[in-house]
Amino acid sequence: MAVPIRTAAAALCAGLVATLLTTVPARAGQREHTWTVSGPGRTATHAPHARISLDDTTGTVSLSVTRDRRTVIEPSPVGIVTEQADLSKDLSFLHRKDRLVDERYRTKSGKRLERRALMNETRLSFATPTGARLDLVVRASADGVAYRYVLPAGLGDVLAETSAFRLPQDATAWLSTYRVDNEGQFAQYTAATAPTGDYSPQALFATDGGYTLLAESDLTGTYSGARLAHDQGTGTYRIKLADDRVRTTGPLATPWRAMVTGDLATVTRSTFTDDLAPASKVPDPGWIRPGTVLWTWLAGGRTAGQSLTAQKAYVDYAAERGWPYEAVDAGWYFKSDEWDTTDPNWQTNSWMPDLVDHARAKGVGIIVWIHQRDLDTPEERAQWLPTLERWGVKGVKIDFMNSEAQSMLQWYDAILAETAAHHLMVDFHGSTIPKGMQRTWPQVMTLEGVAGEEKRTNTAAHLTTLPFTRNIIGSMDFTPGAFQRVGLRPNSDAAETGLAVVYESGLQMYAGTPQSYDERPLARDFYDQLPAAWDDTRLLAGHPGQEAVLARRDGDRWFLGGVYAGTARTAEVPLTIGAGRWLVETIRDGTGGLVQDRQVLRGGETLDIDVTDNGGFAGIACRWTPGISTCHR
């Protein structure tokens, strides 16, 4: 529940102090033209600082970010152009307003369930010579800086932003070429040497000020999705909108342009893009239950999707393992005798209610795949969504949006409200990425927007970059566990097992076959233990493109996952999960398959694990006391 701003004396004092410390006095005869906003709290000296400057000659505004007095983002242009006004130049300063944002909220999935959004906010108001108004709203927290534009009604459609991010040219960059489905691979460059082109807005840079991930938040159908446009030889990444014209009908608040920044552990653990988003619009989220899923597409494809017998067998296997969901992918309603949806009894032609009843008796929920084109109109949604709810389906996997244009974002607005009304959890594929969506609409358990397990060209370097790029933004449906795809994936079996921890997803969809799990009982039994919602997340070791070792806590147990790119080695992992003695069970690659090791370590000691080429590991750590021989329950 949100804590009202300025209701406590401490909050009021903090806001006043922030105002006094961040306002630069005007010199005699000159208007104030520089402002600084930094994160609140005891860590403010180490938090990022945003510096906003108004050039008195050109009337242009720029924003830069520093951390520990080191450059994170160089002075970068800020501005927006509409039909009626160019709000990127000839601006004069009007006034400033400050407040402290302090909100506590609880999520249904993600890196941790209990959250606190604590940010200083500064609103700077500007005007053009003709009186057109622009408010620049800047927020700073302990792990990020963000800004958005707020425009009054009457300025017409948005034609472009002049927003950009200027990085030091030698900053290391991990970038993914932009695709409408957000399924590009991440590759390493420097900020200046990256080829000319468009890139995903989720871009990671390393500078002497630490790591910075560029991102968006609170993207809805009132606006247009963004990508980063870059010209080789520069460190500048410009905001390029998906639409040439963004339709507006009244006042407008654009999405947040966010910079998640800090050391790598801080950036990896950050929930900044969720913190910026509006509060939940689902009043009673008790029906939303994250969990692990047996997903059958890579196990049997469309043929399995057309077979009630095959699907019942998958449900039985999920029930045997204690996995709470089974997902039926494409094929279940695209049959040779395709339904006549003009017939009011068309739903009775499906075997899906039979499967749902069978699964319910086994304690398993059903999630169904459906193409976006079959939910494209209000009439189609009025046919499908109430029917799926009546059958008892628990969630929908909606595929092939493949756009972040304003019209598609308006469709997202509609489907989000309607799936919530019909108590259907959601997994989006061929989609945008979360961008705060999971806070506002907690029934969204996961989204694809990633070059995931289905891809045949993924590299081990890509797999070790995702925890520091795409998965920072929100739940990621990579679909790990496809052990049967030997030769089609770049990693080892132990690394594949560990991906289910390394990658966070509110619906963690296992992509293997029952036979492949039974042939690897250590991996199968590890999956039996895994939750899909976490109390905490920590980065134990990592470097994008080389290694990623994460620990995620469920109650009093920590689950460990590690993935590596490159040659075999003995990995040294700091066990920074708390003081005391821990029983650590790990699964690694052996000469004849997966093997398990057990050892007792003190918190802070080093966990040594032998890792194969492009390998990894999985593990569980629990408090050790005499007589405890396993962490499994």
Signed CA dihedral, 384, 385, 389, 390: sign only: negative
Task: Provide the angle, in degrees to the nearest 10, between the axes of the packed helices 493-502 and 521-529.
Answer: 10
Distance in Å from the first CA to the final CA of the chain: 33
CA distance 176 to 629: 44
Would you list the DSSP string of 110-126?
Answer: SS-SEEEEEEEEEEEEE
CA distance 459 to 176: 13
Tell me, what amino acid is at 272? F
Would you list the DSSP string of 59-85?
Answer: --EEEEEEETTEEEEEEEEE-EEESS-
E strand or H helix that includes residue 525: helix 521-529
Region of 268 (left: φ > 0; alpha: ψ -120 to 50; beta: rest) is: alpha
CA distance 394 to 363: 12
11 φ/ψ angles, rounded to the nearest 5 degrees: -65, -40
The neighbour count for residue 73, using CB atoms within 10 Å, is 28
Residue written as token pair 């600082």: 49
Strands 569-574 and 581-590: unpaired
User: 212 Cβ partners below 8 Å, 6+ apart?
Assistant: 65, 72, 73, 167, 204, 205, 206, 259, 260, 261, 267
Burial class, 610, CB count within 10 angstroms (exposed 0-12 / middle 13-18 / buried 19+): middle
Q: How far is CA 200 from CA 141, 162, 274, 450, in A?
A: 24, 17, 18, 11
Q: Specify whether the CB–CB gap between 481 and 510 falls below 8 A.
A: yes
Residues marked active site are found at 399, 454
Q: Specify whether the CB–CB gap between 106 and 191 falls below 8 A.
A: no
Residue written as token pair 């390493």: 188
E strand or H helix that includes residue 106: strand 92-106
Angle, CA of 532, 534 and 535, to the nearest 5°: 160
User: 512 Cβ partners below 8 Å, 6+ apart?
Assistant: 298, 299, 481, 482, 483, 484
CA-wise closest residue to 412 among 392, 382, 395, 434:
434
Q: Give the rounded distance of the alpha carbon of 629 from its chain centre.
A: 36
Tell me, what amino acid is at 197? G
User: 390 Cβ partners below 8 Å, 6+ apart?
Assistant: none
